[in-house]
Amino acid sequence: MEIAVGALSGMVEALPGKLGELLQQEYELLSGARGDVAFFQDELRTMNAAVLRCEALEEPDVQTSSWIAQVRDLAFDIEDWVDLFAHRVDAGTHDATSHRFSRWIRRLTTIPDRHVIATELKELRARVVEVSELRKRYSLGPQMPSHHAPAVDPRLFAFYADSADLVGMDGPRDEVAGMVTGQGSGGLKVVSIVGMAGSGKTTLAREVYRLVNAGFTCRASVSVGRSSDVAKVLGDMLSQVDSRGRGDAGDVNQLIGRLREHLQDKRYLLMIDDLWSVQTWEIIKHCFPANNLGSRIITTTRIEAVAKAGAGDHVYKTCLLGKDDAETLFTRRAFGSVGGCPAHLKDVSAQIMKKCGGLPLAIVSVGGLLASKARTRDEFERLGLEWRTNSELQGMKQIIKLSYSDLPANLKTCLLHLSIFPENHEIEIERLARRWVAEGFINEQRGTSLEETARNYINELIGRNLIQPSQMNHDGTHRSYVLHPVIHDFIICKSMEDNFVALVHAQQQDVPPGNGTVRRLSLLNSSKHDQATAQIDGAKVSRARSITVFSHTGRTPRLNELSVLRVLDLEGCQGPLCLDGLYKLLLLRYLNLKGTDVSELPEQIGELRCLETLDVRSTKVKVLPPSIVKLEKLMHLLAGNAKLPSGITKMKSLLTLSCSNIGKSADADIIQELRNMVSLREMELFCNVPRTSEDKKQVTFPSDGFQSLKKLSIRCSLPSVTFVTDALSKVEVLELKFEEGLSEESSGVSGIEHLSGLKHMIIEFSQHDAGAAAATAAVKTTAEKVHPNCQVIIVNVDKKTNE
């Protein structure tokens, strides 16, 4: 079992620094406490070296796995203790100006908390000593990283498949063959096939290799693999192109020289399968002389960066099988012929094919397994739908595991985190990036914000074909993605093995007993009937750092029992929601109540001093509590149509704001209050302009405000927006969404020409009337005339998009 310790190594590495900061503060620790904290620093530094070595082990022994589990729990508890310390013993006012009497009173009133802290420190110290002794006893750390290849390559079907048995291959084969043989310069050309694990890359490459091999004087086909032995690969290639060559002769430099010499005057065709790194390609490519004889190379890889490094623009991305082809392949494998599925198995077979998601590897593996089993509904459900406990599908799991094993530690953590979401759930990238930051998964990088780094992580997972883009933004960036069911099933298995996430489904009464200490909880409630089910026992999840609930709020643990919670995500949940005790969650960084039935927030919400994201869009919340302005770390305030309290300009960390255009009084708008907030980067404004009003109030943006704003979205009943000269000079993205137009004579939008930095614009009307058409035409004409460098202008009327 490979250990998922990416977040662990980062945490253990960061903890000594956190403890050092604690010692530097003027906190009044009880006698001996400073020594304990310093002791933690030294031991954790030593421990981290062993943790890093364990990360490289793909098949650690039981002792190593057990030790890592203990280190994980210990690191979590130490970090919780450090993060809670400043809140329990408020030393923030212990400076030179503090009154001695006030300091003395404070010291007296916090004595009980200080004794609790001292007791906790002693317990943590004992655990640190115990874990450190275990490391020495087990001699953990000096083991060499293991990269065990499977005894039998699970891709045998791809290597030896008969062309007549392949399904959905004709079109892709002909397209790639055209890329390989297409007219152009006579120089060396590389074509790369890229796609997720099991999508048929090797099968497609071999078909193309067989189809186009005529006319080449030299041919060779080699497989590289993740733990590539470059000398062996080059030796295999040499033995195929030169019958006199010995595959095991010489080192890499000698083999490159011999291959170049032999291929120099020949037209060659090479297939290089299963490339995993740009570095490996950079070595192998030196074997290939550019002799202008029309030589061709076909490569396959799971990683888009590797494909582009070798082939440039000559990259073909594999697609999943369509419904008809998937059904054909499955029925052939499971029943021996097309149309051979018995009537009593048609519905369960459809469920199995849906779970396979058009992935050839899954269809072939599961179909082949079922071919030798009894054709009963129970058997097909047990073997075809319950993959996690099915040892007969190890070949398929091994292929998926290779992609996981190749990830750096930080990306392993982020990928496992996706197991909290239900199968086929569409996940918004913005939501995920902020969650990862709140969870502490993102490492700081100079010159890049944590959220930008999180988005880079997501893009890398997309580039490695482990997650699939779903919806796109107007500027071509990814908006959301989904996990393929096969990948989703795999990471759930890994999460359960490593106690990374506790998944509680609708049918379960409580957290499974084998979960140990629950750090992340995902409640997959199915519908309102779960409301009758008993609430999750708070004691079992009292150390949870994140809780995510889907579908319904039933069984959500009581908040006053969750002292170390960092993430509370209830987006889209229906049902009654109790927020009693919310203000006590002093470490909470991410609170998502979007789309819930909540109608008001606790007045004491300003006590959540660590909060970075608050989302109450699409709720019944009309006004935010005044104390919200005390949230000094809040970066994303997504209030939707709710009214902001006065004093919002005190929030100096705000980057993103969504709110109603209602100011301190009914005749004032929020724009005048927000204009000088230099931190704002994105703003969404909800406005209401009654059609019956004779004097329709304009939403006007002044010339000297919002100097840092990059994106502006206005949602209004009627178009009534004005941008004055020199307004919003930094805005690059403008979204105007209205319910209906005014009239054919008035667009209702003026001053678009003043937005000097505009790059993308969307105008959308819910109703397609004459006024909407007039406004659309006028705004589009102005934008196209004044902003010729605007990359994309999208006009969206009645959900129909024109560019």
Give the tens place of pLDDT for each residue, 95-133.
444 444 444 444 444 455 666 777 888 888 888 888 888
Please check whether residue 650 is in contact with residue 626, taking contact to mean a CB–CB distance below 8 angstroms: no
Whether 248 has a pLDDT exceeding 60, the answer reads no
Q: What integer is the mean pLDDT of 2-12?
A: 53
SS3 for 490?
A: helix
- Max avg pLDDT among 135-139, 181-185, 448-452: 448-452
List, edge to edge, every strand of the sheet that includes 480-482: 427-428, 480-482, 468-469
- In this prediction, residue 345 has a pLDDT band, given cuts at 50, 70 and 90, of very high
Q: What integer is the mean pLDDT of 265-273?
A: 95
Per the model's pLDDT, the better-predicted residue between 505 and 435 turns out to be: 435
If we measure between CA atoms, which residue out of 654, 561, 668 comes closest to residue 611? 654
Per the model's pLDDT, the better-predicted residue between 68 and 152 turns out to be: 68
Gap between the Cα atoms of 284 and 301, Å rounded: 14
Where do we find the tokens 């009337």?
A: 769
**Structure tokens of 236?**
């295999």
Quote the pLDDT of residue 128.
86
Gap between the Cα atoms of 746 and 759, Å rounded: 24
Please report the sign of the dihedral spanned by the C-alpha atoms of residue 623, residue 629, residue 630, residue 631.
positive
Please check whether residue 757 is in contact with residue 733, taking contact to mean a CB–CB distance below 8 angstroms: no
DSSP-assigned states of every residue in 705-763: S-TT--EEEEEESS--EEE-TT-STT--EEEEEESS--BTTB-SEE-GGG-TT--EEEE
Q: What integer is the mean pLDDT of 597-624?
A: 95
**Structure tokens of 682?**
């994105």
Gap between the Cα atoms of 109 and 115, Å rounded: 12
Report, in angstroms and rounded to the nearest whole number, the Rg of the chain calculated over CA atoms: 30
Q: What integer is the mean pLDDT of 586-591?
A: 96
- Average pLDDT of the chain is 83
At 746, give phi and psi (nearest 5°).
Answer: -130, 130
Whether 322 has a pLDDT exceeding 90, the answer reads yes
- In this prediction, residue 151 has a pLDDT band, given cuts at 50, 70 and 90, of very low
Per the model's pLDDT, the better-predicted residue between 146 and 554 turns out to be: 554
Quote the pLDDT of residue 103.
46
Distance of CA 216 to the CA centre of its chain: 45
Please check whether residue 552 is in contact with residue 523, taking contact to mean a CB–CB distance below 8 angstroms: no
Beta-ladder partners of 762: 735, 794
Task: Count Cβ atoms below 10 Å from residue 688 Cβ, excluding itself.
Answer: 14
Per the model's pLDDT, the better-predicted residue between 699 and 589 turns out to be: 589
Residue 372 CA neighbour count, 13 Å, CB half: 5
Quote the pLDDT of residue 527.
60
If we measure between CA atoms, which residue out of 772, 764, 768, 767 comes closest to residue 743? 772
Three-state SS annotation for 364-378: HHHHHHHHCCCCCHH
Lowest mean pLDDT among 72-76, 174-178, 628-632: 72-76
- In this prediction, residue 703 has a pLDDT band, given cuts at 50, 70 and 90, of confident
Quote the pLDDT of residue 147.
47
Whether 91 has a pLDDT exceeding 50, the answer reads no
Give the tens place of pLDDT for each residue, 381-396.
999 988 877 888 888 8
Gap between the Cα atoms of 188 and 286, Å rounded: 12
Please report the sign of the dihedral spanned by the C-alpha atoms of residue 139, residue 144, residue 147, residue 148.
negative
Q: What integer is the mean pLDDT of 7-16?
A: 64
If we measure between CA atoms, which residue out of 740, 732, 739 comes closest to residue 710? 732
Please check whether residue 656 is in contact with residue 635, taking contact to mean a CB–CB distance below 8 angstroms: yes
Please check whether residue 683 is in contact with residue 706, taking contact to mean a CB–CB distance below 8 angstroms: yes
Gap between the Cα atoms of 443 and 633, Å rounded: 18
Residue 638 amino acid letter: L
Q: What integer is the mean pLDDT of 605-613?
A: 95
Gap between the Cα atoms of 737 and 721, Å rounded: 11
Task: Count Cβ atoms below 10 Å from residue 514 Cβ, excluding itself.
Answer: 8
Q: Which percentage of the chain shows pLDDT scores above 90?
A: 44
Lowest mean pLDDT among 166-175, 244-253, 594-603, 615-624: 244-253
- In this prediction, residue 738 has a pLDDT band, given cuts at 50, 70 and 90, of confident
Whether 743 has a pLDDT exceeding 90, the answer reads no
Gap between the Cα atoms of 505 and 375, Å rounded: 29
Per the model's pLDDT, the better-predicted residue between 120 and 313 turns out to be: 313
Please check whether residue 700 is in contact with residue 728, taking contact to mean a CB–CB distance below 8 angstroms: no
Gap between the Cα atoms of 373 and 440, Å rounded: 47
